[in-house]
């Protein structure tokens, strides 16, 4: 057989050899750092045997694939440790993740965070034993018998879902074995330093109609210093988590009797949301958008036309008890705005039409996916749709991107985002509108636009909307989880479904193109990310309370209240603190509330028309005329100053 190496060199062998054996023949030094290989592009372990002509890349500890194998092996060590402590545990899946690994497990009785220490102790014994990790290929019938005897129903279910001729591999380490494609490191002793970080619930296969399993998360590293650094970042993330800060600062809350994913905004949070919404609506108006206001509920007929009923019904809140009276809370705004467009004949001279709406939308998210304001069941979207001619698509897309870039820069988020070109998956015909020609054309056009902008983007097959490809602007929260903050989509399908048209220059009826876009995305998610980025100390122009006016004595209460009233009249969000508390207490309390400015009014200040100015960072700006401060704060709000 002929083995073609990464550098093009061809090795010839008369008998099958493992990746490990070939690495040794290349060089002893390479064999010492080898952890696996890539055979015709597929990642395999060192014990994988090559039997025919193929390409081979030896994977070492220096390659990015090492991290995935390391974490996947750590997941098996976690399962092995759980099995030692809880012999009757039933295992779901245990993959590597971007930050570490997890395993989904069914326990006889519930466990909690206090139980993680004894599981960690058991994992350490698995690591210390340095069990060799052995890959075995067996028949599906043998695997079914093996896991049925071991009372592992989730593994049996996975096996039953595989084709009869599927190659089944199991990995053994000591007295533990698992159904797994692999690959893994050579032995359990390679997992040097680890920590279990979180315990949550997760539905089997992510389906809330299935049983809730216990998901245990962990991290693993080669060096103790790396683990210590990660744990410090984890502690920082806990302190910056918007779910924690949002409650402490009185921005939002949740109530069990109301329901998961349905946040309540307290006055402070509502104020920030109002500021964001007014700002975005004003910026859209400057760019030629016209407002719409549409219902939050509609008959199923509307969603059948759009295709949501067929492709997205599981994610909708459906009301009614039979097909004749089904209605649903809207998960999107586009069909409603299309209905507005269809009122009256449109000429090419009317296009583009840019519709915008601050929309309340509803999506039936799985309970395991929801977190604070990041992912909720009712949310507010800066929604919009542009109806245009094919020749206008590129220019309109440019304008959408320009608006989002401006908004991100003003918020200080521009350096935190990445770009994803989300395409459809041709193999998953049930998920998408079945029109290969349309998909090819739409994806080609969007790619040309993205390349023209020289955006550094990743392509992602399977993440498109069911009706068209999109540019997803991605961002990570403090925990490292990535979510979409803004989308811009090219749609060649829904205009036909809704029989939308315009009259072109030749008097001929044509189908328009549609761009679906959100200028700032979901306001709740954006607010969550801002709270985390600024550690709750929102920029002055966004702060729910921008100035706190503190009276030093009872004699200056009236002056403090007058200053507060004047600031409010000028559009500055101000509050007076005229309680009989000591000044130091008032200042510390305002700083804990992360209020940008504190104005102290004592007898001297009241007499001279001045204020003593302090900042939330503890800075003392000294005494200045009130008029000077007023001009300064108004200018900073207009300029959207991030630091004061």
Query: Residue 521: which residues within 8 A CB-CB, separation 6 or more?
Result: 381, 382, 473, 484, 485, 486, 487
Determine the pLDDT at residue 209. Answer: 85
pLDDT score for 455 = 87
Query: In the prediction, which pLDDT does 487 show?
Result: 95
- Burial code of 341-380, b = ≥16 C-beta within 10 A, e = fewer? beeeebebeebbbbbbbbbebbbbbeeeebbbbbbbbbbb
What is the edge-to-edge ordering of all strands in the sheet holding 101-106? 90-91, 101-106, 212-221, 193-203
- Residues 126 and 188 sit within 8 Å (Cβ to Cβ): yes
In this predicted structure, what is the pLDDT of residue 191?
Answer: 93
User: pLDDT tens-digit profile of 390-413?
Assistant: 999 999 999 999 999 999 999 999
Is the pTM of the predicted complex or chain greater than 0.75?
A: yes
Query: CA dist 481 to 365, 526, 536, 543, 583, Å?
Result: 17, 14, 19, 26, 42
Q: How far apart are CA 421 and CA 449, in angstroms?
A: 11
For helices 267-286 and 523-533, give the axis angle rounded to 10 degrees: 110
Mean pLDDT by 10 residues, the chain (644 residues): 87 89 89 88 87 90 88 96 97 91 96 95 97 93 95 96 89 95 91 93 86 95 92 92 96 94 96 98 98 96 92 90 88 96 97 98 85 94 96 94 96 95 86 84 88 88 87 92 92 92 97 95 96 96 98 95 97 96 95 96 95 92 96 96 85
The pair of structure tokens assigned to 152 is 């592992």
| pLDDT of the residue at 303 | 93
8 A C-beta contact, residue 381 and residue 523: yes
Per-residue confidence (pLDDT) for residue 364, from 0 to 100:
92
Separation CA 256–CA 253 (nearest Å): 10
Give the separation between CA 361 and CA 602, rounded to whole angstroms. Answer: 49
What are the tens digits of pLDDT across the range 284-319? 999 999 999 999 999 999 999 998 898 888 899 999
Alpha-carbon distance of 569 to 547, in angstroms, equals 13
Three-state secondary-structure class, residue 88? coil
CB atoms within 10 A of CB 182: 20
Tell me the pLDDT tens digit for each residue of 597-609: 999 999 999 999 9
d(CA 521, CA 381): 6
Report yes or no: 200 and 215 within 8 Å, Cβ to Cβ: yes
**436-452 and 393-411 helices cross at what angle (nearest 10)?**
50
38 DSSP assignment: E
Grouping H, G, I as helix, E, B as strand and the rest as coil, residue 561 is helix
Q: Are 230 and 219 in contact (CB under 8 A)?
A: yes
**Between the CA atoms of 355, 328, 464 and 379, what dihedral angle is there, to the nearest 10 degrees?**
70
pLDDT value at residue 407: 97
DSSP string, 103-135: EEEE-SS---GGGHHHHHHHHHHHHHHT-B-EE
**Strand-pair category, 54-60 with 2-5:** parallel
Q: How many CB atoms within 10 Å of residue 425?
A: 13
What's the pLDDT score for residue 173?
96
Contacts of 410 (CB under 8 A, 6+ apart): 640
- What pLDDT, on a 0 to 100 scale, did the predictor assign at position 181? 87
At a CB cut-off of 8 Å and minimum separation 6, what does 460 contact? 420, 421, 422, 423, 472
């Amino acid at each position: 057989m002929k083995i073609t190496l990464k550098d093009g060199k061809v090795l010839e062998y008369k008998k099958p050899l493992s990746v490990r054996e070939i690495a040794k023949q290349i060089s002893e030094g390479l064999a010492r750092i080898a952890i696996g290989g890539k055979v015709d592009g597929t990642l395999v372990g060192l014990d994988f045997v090559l039997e025919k002509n193929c390409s081979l890349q030896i994977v070492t500890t220096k390659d990015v694939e090492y991290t995935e194998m390391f974490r996947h092996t750590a997941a098996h060590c976690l399962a092995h440790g759980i099995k030692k402590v809880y012999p009757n545990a039933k295992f779901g899946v245990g993959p590597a993740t971007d930050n570490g690994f997890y395993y989904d497990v069914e326990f006889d009785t519930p466990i909690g965070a206090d139980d993680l220490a004894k599981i960690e102790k058991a994992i350490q014994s698995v690591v210390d034993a340095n069990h060799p990790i052995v890959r075995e290929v067996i028949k599906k019938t043998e695997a079914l018998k093996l896991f049925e005897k071991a009372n592992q129903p989730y593994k049996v279910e996975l096996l039953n879902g595989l084709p009869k001729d599927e190659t089944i591999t199991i990995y053994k380490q000591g007295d533990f074995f698992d159904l797994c494609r692999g690959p893994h490191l050579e032995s359990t002793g390679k997992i040097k330093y680890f920590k279990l970080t979180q315990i949550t619930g997760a539905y089997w296969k992510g389906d809330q109609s299935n049983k809730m399993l216990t998901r245990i998360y962990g991290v693993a590293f080669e060096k103790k210093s790396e683990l210590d650094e990660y744990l410090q970042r984890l502690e920082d993330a806990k302190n910056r988590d918007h779910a924690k800060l949002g409650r402490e600062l009185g921005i939002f809350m949740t109530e069990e009797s109301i329901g998961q994913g349905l946040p309540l905004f307290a006055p402070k949070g509502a104020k920030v949301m109002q500021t964001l919404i007014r700002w975005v609506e004003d910026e859209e108006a400057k760019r030629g958008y016209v407002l719409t206001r549409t219902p939050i509920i509609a008959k199923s007929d509307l969603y059948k036309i759009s295709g949501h009923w067929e492709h997205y019904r599981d994610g909708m809140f459906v009301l009614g008890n039979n097909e004749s009276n089904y209605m649903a809370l809207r998960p999107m705004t586009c069909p409603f705005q299309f209905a507005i467009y269809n009122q009256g004949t449109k000429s090419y001279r009317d296009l583009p039409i840019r519709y915008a709406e601050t929309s309340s939308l509803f999506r039936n998210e799985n309970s395991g996916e929801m977190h604070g304001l990041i992912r909720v069941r009712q949310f507010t979207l800066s929604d919009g749709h542009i109806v245009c001619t094919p020749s206008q698509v590129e220019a309109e897309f440019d304008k959408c991107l320009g608006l989002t870039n401006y908004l991100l820069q003003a918020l200080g988020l521009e350096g935190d985002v990445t770009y994803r070109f989300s395409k459809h998956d041709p193999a998953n015909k049930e998920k998408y509108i079945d029109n290969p020609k349309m998909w090819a054309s739409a994806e080609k056009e969007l790619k040309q636009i993205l390349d023209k902008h020289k955006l550094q983007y990743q392509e992602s097959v399977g993440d498109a909307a069911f009706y068209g490809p999109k540019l997803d602007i991605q961002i990570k929260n403090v925990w490292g989880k990535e979510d979409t903050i803004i989308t811009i989509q090219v749609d060649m399908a829904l205009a036909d479904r809704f029989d939308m048209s315009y009259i072109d220059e030749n008097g001929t009826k044509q189908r328009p193109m549609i761009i679906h876009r959100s200028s700032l995305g979901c306001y709740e998610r954006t607010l969550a990310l801002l709270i985390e980025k600024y550690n709750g100390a929102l920029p002055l122009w966004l702060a729910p309370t921008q100035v706190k006016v503190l009276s030093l004595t009872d004699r200056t209460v009236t002056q403090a209240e007058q200053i507060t009233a004047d600031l409010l009249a000028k559009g500055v969000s101000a509050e007076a603190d005229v309680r009989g508390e000591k000044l130091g207490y008032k200042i510390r309390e305002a700083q804990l509330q992360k209020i940008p400015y504190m104005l102290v009014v004592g007898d001297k200040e009241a007499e001279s028309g001045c204020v003593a100015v302090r900042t939330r960072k503890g800075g003392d700006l000294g005494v200045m005329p009130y008029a000077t401060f007023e001009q300064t704060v108004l200018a900073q709000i207009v300029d959207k100053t991030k630091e004061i």
